[in-house]
A and B are shown apart, each in its own frame.
Chain A
Amino acid sequence: MAIMHKLKVAVIDYEMGNLFSVVRACEYAGLSAVVTSDKSVIMASDAVILPGVGAFGDAMHNLRKLDMELPIKEFIETGKPFMGICLGMQLLMTESEEFGNHKGLNIIEGRVIKFSAENGGGKRGKIPQVGWNRILFPVRASENFWLNSPLQGIRSGEFMYFVHSYYPVPSAEDAVLSTTEYEGTQFCSSILRRNIFAAQYHPEKSASEGIRIYKNWASIIGRQIEERNGKKA
């Protein structure tokens, strides 16, 4: 059965950075995106994106100020697709060492740590990482590792656009969907955990392969709704 209405995505607005490119990428992928910090809009959406650029501590402060912590957790518990991007990925973790220690949303167990200023050769590396870098299969992953995930159809070694000084270290190794290497450090660049997909890079700024992630994610949302409707009928 075809879905008659456009799939609705809530892009959470918590006053951290520029959300417009996320909205445009959603629209390009056929999703109807609304920027909001209204709990009822979030809960009524088919999927939710937590974007974000800026400092971890400020971001958590704003999420609490806007009473967003609980709605995010409640939405994730519904099992509907949830995407965290960049800082929005890091906020899902237990804690971050950014400017002292900060508690995160603790939805995915793990820490957020900073790139070491010293790289392998003893030279000083540039931090933040700003630019394109490869996302790779984790070690020991099979050729089909990204099948049915938002990374389906993307080649291991494809370039995505990154802007960050910190990266997540999930406690569960099987949460790691892709890894990336920067200045001698191998880090987790995407996470897949139940209904949560999270990326340290910006798919909405990563050209056609980044847009493919949004399109894959839109298909995942659509399939889930069809399944749910199927069960009801």
Chain B
Amino acid sequence: MSKNIRIIPRLDIKGPNLVKGIHMEGLRVMGKPEQFARYYYETGADELLYMDIVASLYGRNSLHDIIAKTAREIFIPLTVGGGLRTLDDIRDALRAGADKVSLNTAAIGNPQLIREASRKFGSSTILISIEAIKQPDGRYLAYTDNGREHTGIEVLEWALRVEELGAGEIMLTSIDREGTGTGYDTELTKMVSGSVSIPVIACGGAGNISHIGQVISEGKADAIALASVLHYDFIKNNEVEIDAANEGNIEFLKSGRGFLKVEPANLSEVKNYLYAKGVQCRCNGTAEILSGHNA
């Protein structure tokens, strides 16, 4: 049996809200992250990912309350990222209830942080987020601060380096595709996943179920992060709680509109699709599948 592909809902957090942007900009408020997290847990998410997407900009980390509430009742791995700069920041996130942390800006600024953190907390706790933008000459360069800051570092070179420094996993986001619904960057994913021996989580661009199949079969992704496809499905089928004190752009929520570029799907639909394509993944109703396929 080959490995099972993980499907990881990604929840971008700004203040108390779950948000979603395009190329990480133009954020829309989607609702309360805890409500989405609970639903994804119950419907078969393999892990959860919380990203405080403005933390790096303001040097703050407001996620702890949300993490603590989530961790009390959700027993799948929870990765937390955004604004974590020091070993103490990492320890605080773990203490609040995260199982893993995601580092980008701080790791690029100080690569030794990866070595120290993986020694202290275990490699499997340290996930390195790489934000890639394709250059006119075809090269992929790593960015920080949600694709705002140029580093001049080549993505592949950086991926090999973080593996050597002790990172347990890489989350590879195509900023070009992020939030667009036009599909993952399979070329980027394949380049990195084929070169490192640690797992690569493909992120950014999923607009429908077939995009997911593609980044697994062609891009050789070990796991995939999903946001819009799942969030818009949730909004379509559930009553979203909106805080009266909500900050941010909630106009689209009130209007009841979806997002034209995205065909929403729930986790069961995603997994059934993958299973039918011969991709191994953890499905609900294990026993039924087993008896049918004599695994």
Contacts and interface: CB of A to CB of B under 8 A. Distances in A.
Contacts of A159: 4, 282, 286
Nearest to A117: B197
Interface residues of A, number: 39
Contact of B197 (A53, A126, A205): A126
Contacts of B71: 20-21, 24
A161 interface: yes
A181 B76 CA distance: 21
Nearest to A25: B75
Nearest to A124: B197
Interface string A157-175: 1110101000000000000
Nearest to A130: B199
Contact of B125 (A17, A134, A158): A17
A219 interface: no
Interface in A16-74: 16-18, 20-21, 24-25, 28, 53-54
B111 interface: no
Contacts of B223: 130-131
Nearest to A123: B2
B122 A21 contact: no
Contacts of B222: 126, 130-131
B159 interface: no
Interface residues on B, range: 35 or more
Interface in B126-178: 168-169
Given A132-B46, A155-B287, A126 B3 contact: yes
Contacts of B287: 155, 157
B295 A157 contact: yes
B77 interface: yes
Contacts of A207: 41, 75-76
A206 B46 contact: no
Nearest to B223: A131
Contacts, number: 106
B121 interface: yes
Given A21-B71, A163-B124, A205 B4 contact: no
B159 to A, nearest CB: 14
Most buried by B among A53, A156, A210: A53
Interface in B1-51: 1-6, 41, 46
A208 B199 CA distance: 25
Contacts of B169: 130
Given A16-B122, A54-B122, A130 B4 contact: no
B277 interface: no
B124 A130 contact: yes
B77 A20 contact: no
Contacts of A18: 94, 99, 121-122, 125
A67 B76 CA distance: 32
A131 B4 contact: yes
A181 B1 contact: yes
A204 B75 contact: yes
A129 B198 CA distance: 9
Given A157-B286, A157-B295, A127 B75 contact: no
Interface of A: 16-18, 20-21, 24-25, 28, 53-54, 117, 124-134, 155-159, 161, 163, 181-183, 204-208, 210-211
21 contacts: A17-B121, A18-B94, A18-B125, A20-B97, A24-B75, A53-B124, A124-B197, A126-B3, A126-B199, A127-B197, A131-B199, A131-B223, A132-B6, A132-B281, A132-B282, A133-B1, A159-B282, A163-B168, A183-B3, A205-B75, A210-B75
